Structure 1
Amino acid sequence: MAETRSQAPEYDYIIVGAGSAGGPLADRLSESGAASVLVLEAGGSDLHPWVRMPIGYGKAYYHKRLNWKFSTQPVEALGGRESYWPRGKVIGGSSSINAMVWARGHREDFDDWAEQANAPGWNWSEVARVYRRVEDWRGAPDQIRGQDGKVSVEPIADRMHPLCHTYLEAAEQAGIPFNPDYNGAEMNGASIYQISTKGGVRASTAAAYLRPALRRANLRLETGAHVTRVLFDGRRAVGVAYRRGGRDHVARVRGEVILAAGAIMSPAILQHSGVGAGAHLRDLGIDVVHDAPHVGQNLQDHLGADNLYRANTPTLNQELGPWWGKLRAGLRYVLTRGGPLSLSVNQGGGFVRLHDGPGRPDLQLYFSPVSYTRAPKGKRALMSPDPFPGFLMGMNPCRPTSKGHLGITSPDPMAAPEIHPNYLDTEEDRAAMVEGLHLVRKIAGSPAMAQVIEEEIAPGPAATDDATLLQYARDAAWTVFHPCGTCRMGRDAAQAVVDPRLKVHGVEGLRVADASIFPVIPSGNTNAPAIMVGEKAAEMVLEDAR
């Protein structure tokens, strides 16, 4: 049914979501000054201390004004536990509340994208070119890394906690060589993580792209604007409806609507707009514009588990636990933008192949010189760590084979979609979790690490066989906050939601550009790939408009 085109304001492009992908899109599409661009963001300002201060993500993860605070349905393989899924509801999106680890992914990940989606433009050589344009790498210069881009990426080896040196030595003793730059020529190896910060302040896409671009007269941002649906005239997108300040609004578009609302909200908006599984939408009373059963399918995420150790040497617990420690760290940050508050707690880690030979890693490792086991259930109290010296060492399998789904269950566009992650559904994923926990134990048992460990608190010395370790994973595993794939890219409309140009199959004037388009989850963190998608999508839109 055609929508009424009233006296609503009209733009060349409407971008839904000012997050990891939406920020680059808004900047690049408005850059020439020739096109008018409207950005609609459901959240509010990113000018908040828990956003700006890097370690503040421990608070932002649960802040109701900064976060959608999604929860999954109970997961059978996790003993019926729900999984808490924070997603950014703020300018900058999840780049404003994440742990800032910068990981491009492995070259084979993107060659897989190109092959599986039948989309040569997404192979590694093309993606690497875009990454170089994104990055402002503050480490040693080389031809692989970008140094004039918008997003500042900093090495932290000169600022990391001293225990990270112990971790690197222990990893090498366990057969994992040191890798000085996992975003360089080789991804595998033990590393110190690079983070998206600049001078001790978070470098979100809001700071890197959107705020500078908002000086342009042709770019408009509306916050607190919850998009309820895309408006169609026949099968062509002609605008969006959104709710702001308790009132309903309409904005029209001459060119394209681009959904950049993330792996949860982009498919939900499509479904509320009549693009989804036709029978399900009709049951909800939603008029079907295009029967697209894969909207909300192909949901992938990284699932991880931590081992907890009591140390016999000071950790960040002793720096951030006492009131005077908090005061000292706070003063240091205010005066110098330095110290532990200027970093993520995920300081050490890396990527490991479990089997001989070249290729992609099987596991991602994490070493955090802090522990917070007494935090309230479902919370990360990074500024209220355990009273004893402790640290966490964990991992997640890089390429899970279990796939879930999500979708709307109500015609109310303000209702949260229902999320079914389907963790540990395959034997491959269960085996990978057990192998990963054995590897963490191997690192902990190396001479360098053994000399600083007083005891393993969890899973504990009684957990020695595969079955016990798998049960520990079921009881304690956590999302690594990397949902993706729910608007899968592919040339075949029978198997995908968007084509390789990110245009939604079956309709016109509508694209999706965010982590939902990933055909396969990358081997590492997903924020850098999401930003890359926003940059590449802007290229495509401008090329197609010529």
Structure 2
Amino acid sequence: MWSPRLLGVAAASLTLNQLVYANTIPVFAHHRRGIITPDELSSSYDFVIAGGGVAGLVLAARLSEDSNTTVLVLEAGDTGDAVGNIINPPAATYYTSLVGSSYDWAYETTSQSSAGGQVLPWPRGKVLGGSSAINGMYLVRPSEVEVNAWQNLIAPTDSQAAAAWSWPEFFQATKKVETFTPPTPDVQSAAGIQFNQDSQGTQGPMHASYPGFMIDTVGTWLPSLQAIGIPSNPDAFGGNTLGGFIAQSSINPTNWTRSYSKSAYIDPLPPRQNLHILVNSTVTRFILSSVDGSSNQKASQVEFATDASSDKKTVNVNKEVLLSGGAIGSPQMLMVSGVGPSDVLQAANVPVKVELPGVGQHLQDHLVTGLTWKTTTQTAGDLHASNSDVASSAEFMSFVNSATAYINASYLFGSSDDAANFRSQMQAALTTSVQTLIPSTNSEVIEGYKAIYDVVTNTLLPSDVGQVELLLSLNAPGQIGVQVALQHPFSQGRLFITTASAFDKPTIDPYYLAHSGDVTILRQGLKLARTLGSTPPLSSVLQTELTPGPSVVTDEDWENWLKGQVKTEFHPAGTCAMLPKEKGGVVDANLKVYGLDNVRVVDASVFPINFASHLGSPTFALAEQAASIIRSQYNGLVAPGSNSSVPGPNQDSGNHNGASSLLSSSSSTMGVVMTMAAVLFAVFM
């Protein structure tokens, strides 16, 4: 019932690039790249990065390529080294999760009145690597339509800078992140995997590949979708995600381990004296002062502490503060520093430095629920529970769910006419939505809600962009599931602080299912999933429908059921939206916070719309673009979307477009690598 592949990669056959990135050489796997103790901290740095997660570590690696630049990363969590046995095996994300541990921020939402009164957990990684160290490793890119819609939202403020967020630029950034490895022949055959090599990256720090083990049931996915009229997508990574495909994952195929921001961007680095990483250090605020001759404020210091009872310390900022705390952490850091909605700051006893009403607003997330069936075929969960030799193999432990499909409105509603009718209903609902569903009375935030609503209604709905994602789930013993996830919510929520302490969790209110359109889209997705489950060849391995069960039949039944069953797909965005300030924006096209001279936000909080994708790939690409923007300002490199550059002092020579720049080091260092490799080959061969 499965198609395993034994590890057969001889150490001697690995390329140098694979050796460095595979973490197979102990000198790299265990070397604490840039990680310092508090007494090694310098008094000042050019760039202080608040958050060592997905984007923060990309920034750290790229900015420190310039020898004239000093970089400090402050990460609230630990290194993750002590739990590498949980982080590294991909399938451990299902069976031995770090969710709920000290490596999880363990946020929760408020009670969601439109979602059955549920209080939903929001796990986020509190460790070097952030959520990329604990997530499901999907590498699904957004579509060309969505990325261009994002660019158009910010273009009115600065069309030249907005060019960095056009599809051609962003597509190249996604490729710059990755080194793609095709699936093994047996895995490809078992799952029916299709891909276009030209859409893949070839020199990036992070591995993009497929598991080394495949459950045969995955092979029923694409034929069953085709049988109900959903096409297979042979190039889902080239700008059009419509249809079914087997997604790539951030898996290192040289040793079947998780590839994430720490293992990809930090662990392989040669020694860099200009990069420091301090863990167990929560940023409590950045300290602002007025800029002479300007109404703007400038960050001069960053304050941090180990915990709420510890003494606070500060470090001076020579150039910029870069916030990379994610959709929760970054708006919280802004607010505790005095930047945000004045009513929120005053209620939390935080002096208002810059009134910026959009901070914490425009919160959007993917909601997911689904159907499950009893099965007698062997699932990944059954194999894991067997404790067999196969179940303990590295290949099996690399298996993650990756069969997916993005369904646009025409397929979802059964015809283009029905989809157009739904769109007309959403257009007509705008006035009522503005009056009743915006968690702010600020005119700028209201205009931003309208702008996002317009993009979803008039750009995304009539396009090929997926409105729901279907996911095949094979990790429960004796059960198979098809999950259904809402991709472009009409509901927008918010988060806000209630105290001045960064150690007190913010209030998170996503307004789940507040808009009836979200309920309708999920309902249609669930009905489609049931149709899929009754269609061969998938139906041949499914038996009794366990949830919601045969008693749920009518539209009203579906809607009543789903409201109490939805969960997060862990993709919050929008809380520091890249929008014009007059539309509730927080950052401009260069990621600079409005009203602040030297503070940028670089993480998923800046996406003004939720993409029909998982957030890992676009966030990595965002960080790569951000690093290029920053380096172009200070070191004369070519800015994204620009054809010119100004020479800068002491910048690294050579290729800055891929993995090779991360590998830059002295010949003596590389000689040590090769010598160590030779010794290890002699021992293990």
Of 237-246 and 31-40, the range deviating more from structure 2 = 237-246
- 1:418: Cα distance to partner? 0.6
Letter in 2 for 1:149: G
**2:361 is the alignment partner of 1:301:** no
Letter in 2 for 1:271: M
Partner of residue 55 from structure 1, selected from 71, 86, 91: 91
Q: How does 1:282-293 map to 2 (within 5 A)?
A: 282-293=346-357
Letter in 1 for 2:176: R
- 1:212: Cα distance to partner? 2.7
Q: Are the aligned partners of 2:344 and 2:497 in contact in 1 as well (CA < 8 Å)?
A: no
Q: Which residue of 1 aligns with 2:380?
A: 316
**2:518 is the alignment partner of 1:429:** yes
Letter in 2 for 1:260: S
**2:399 is the alignment partner of 1:343:** yes
Runs of 4+ in 1 over 4 A off after TM superposition: none
Letter in 2 for 1:209: Y
Q: How does 1:5-24 map to 2 (within 5 A)?
A: 9-24=43-58
The separation in 2 between residues aligned to 1:273 and 1:213, in whole angstroms, is: 33
Q: What percent identity do the matched residue pairs reach?
A: 30
**2:62 is the alignment partner of 1:28:** yes
- 1:257: Cα distance to partner? 0.3
- 1:358: Cα distance to partner? 5.3
Q: Which residue of 2 aligns with 1:4?
A: none
Partner of residue 174 from structure 2, selected from 121, 131, 135: 131
Q: How does 1:379-418 map to 2 (within 5 A)?
A: 386=477, 389-418=478-507
Q: Which residue of 2 aligns with 1:374?
A: none
Partner of residue 203 from structure 2, selected from 136, 148, 152: 148
**2:530 is the alignment partner of 1:441:** yes
Q: Are the aligned partners of 1:214 and 1:220 in contact in 2 as well (CA < 8 Å)?
A: no
Partner of residue 365 from structure 1, selected from 454, 466, 470: 470
Higher helix share: 2
The separation in 2 between residues aligned to 1:34 and 1:255, in whole angstroms, is: 12
Q: Report the secondary structure of 2:148's partner residue.
A: helix
Letter in 1 for 2:73: V
- 1:141: Cα distance to partner? 6.1
Which protein has the larger Cα radius of gyration, Structure 1 or Structure 2? Answer: 2
- 1:445: Cα distance to partner? 1.1
RMSD: 1.7
Q: Deviations over 1:151-187 (max 9, x none)?
A: 110034x732100112222111111122234213531
Q: Report the secondary structure of 2:546's partner residue.
A: strand
Of 181-190 and 305-314, the range deviating more from structure 2 = 181-190
Q: Report the secondary structure of 1:269's partner residue.
A: helix
Q: How does 1:238-253 map to 2 (within 5 A)?
A: 238-244=300-306, 246-253=310-317
Partner of residue 85 from structure 1, selected from 93, 102, 122: 122
Of 472-481 and 219-228, the range deviating more from structure 2 = 472-481
Q: Are the aligned partners of 1:515 and 1:526 in contact in 2 as well (CA < 8 Å)?
A: yes
- 1:312: Cα distance to partner? 3.0
Q: Are the aligned partners of 2:144 and 2:240 in contact in 1 as well (CA < 8 Å)?
A: no
**2:295 is the alignment partner of 1:206:** no
The separation in 2 between residues aligned to 1:56 and 1:303, in whole angstroms, is: 23
**2:544 is the alignment partner of 1:480:** no
The separation in 1 between residues aligned to 2:361 and 2:630, in whole angstroms, is: 25
Between Structure 1 and Structure 2, how many residues are aligned? 514
Q: Are the aligned partners of 1:230 and 1:241 in contact in 2 as well (CA < 8 Å)?
A: yes
Letter in 2 for 1:57: T
- 1:499: Cα distance to partner? 0.5
Q: Which residue of 2 aligns with 1:104?
A: 141
Of 425-434 and 240-249, the range deviating more from structure 2 = 240-249
Q: Which residue of 2 aligns with 1:259?
A: 323
Normalised TM-score (structure 1): 0.91
Letter in 1 for 2:465: R
**2:214 is the alignment partner of 1:164:** no
The separation in 2 between residues aligned to 1:248 and 1:185, in whole angstroms, is: 46
Q: Deviations over 1:191-244 (max 9, x none)?
A: 112100102110000011122347211000000000000111221111210002
Of 250-259 and 171-180, the range deviating more from structure 2 = 171-180
The separation in 2 between residues aligned to 1:214 and 1:413, in whole angstroms, is: 34
- 1:57: Cα distance to partner? 1.8
- 1:494: Cα distance to partner? 5.1
Unmatched runs of 5 consecutive residues or more in structure 2: 1-40, 156-161, 183-194, 291-296, 411-415, 417-461, 636-685
Report the CA distance shift for 1:359/1:488 in structure 2 as closer, same or farther (over 3 A).
same
Q: Deviations over 1:350-408 (max 9, x none)?
A: 2122305852122211001232xxxxxxxxxxxxxx4xx21111111221111100011
Report the CA distance shift for 1:426/1:19 in structure 2 as closer, same or farther (over 3 A).
same
Of 135-144 and 230-239, the range deviating more from structure 2 = 135-144
Q: Which residue of 1 aligns with 2:113?
A: 76
Q: Report the secondary structure of 1:321's partner residue.
A: helix
Q: Are the aligned partners of 1:229 and 1:272 in contact in 2 as well (CA < 8 Å)?
A: yes
Q: Report the secondary structure of 1:329's partner residue.
A: coil
Normalised TM-score (structure 2): 0.73
Q: Are the aligned partners of 1:30 and 1:213 in contact in 2 as well (CA < 8 Å)?
A: no
Of 193-202 and 212-221, the range deviating more from structure 2 = 212-221
Q: Which residue of 1 aligns with 2:283?
A: 227
Q: Deviations over 1:20-51 (max 9, x none)?
A: 11111001100122100000000011222111
Q: Are the aligned partners of 1:160 and 1:347 in contact in 2 as well (CA < 8 Å)?
A: no
- 1:502: Cα distance to partner? 0.3
Q: Are the aligned partners of 1:493 and 1:505 in contact in 2 as well (CA < 8 Å)?
A: no
Letter in 2 for 1:20: V
Q: Which residue of 2 aligns with 1:197?
A: 251
Q: Are the aligned partners of 2:196 and 2:234 in contact in 1 as well (CA < 8 Å)?
A: no
Q: Are the aligned partners of 1:117 and 1:519 in contact in 2 as well (CA < 8 Å)?
A: no
The separation in 1 between residues aligned to 2:634 and 2:326, in whole angstroms, is: 24
Letter in 2 for 1:148: Q
The separation in 1 between residues aligned to 2:52 and 2:363, in whole angstroms, is: 22
Letter in 2 for 1:117: I
Q: Which residue of 1 aligns with 2:240?
A: 186
Q: Are the aligned partners of 1:182 and 1:350 in contact in 2 as well (CA < 8 Å)?
A: no
The separation in 2 between residues aligned to 1:476 and 1:29, in whole angstroms, is: 43
The separation in 1 between residues aligned to 2:541 and 2:278, in whole angstroms, is: 52
**2:154 is the alignment partner of 1:117:** yes
- 1:348: Cα distance to partner? 1.2
The separation in 2 between residues aligned to 1:343 and 1:238, in whole angstroms, is: 47
Q: Deviations over 1:460-494 (max 9, x none)?
A: 00101111111221111110000011000123355
Report the CA distance shift for 1:411/1:172 in structure 2 as closer, same or farther (over 3 A).
same
- 1:138: Cα distance to partner? 1.3
Letter in 1 for 2:510: P
Q: Which residue of 2 aligns with 1:269?
A: 333
The separation in 2 between residues aligned to 1:179 and 1:263, in whole angstroms, is: 31
The separation in 1 between residues aligned to 2:463 and 2:596, in whole angstroms, is: 42
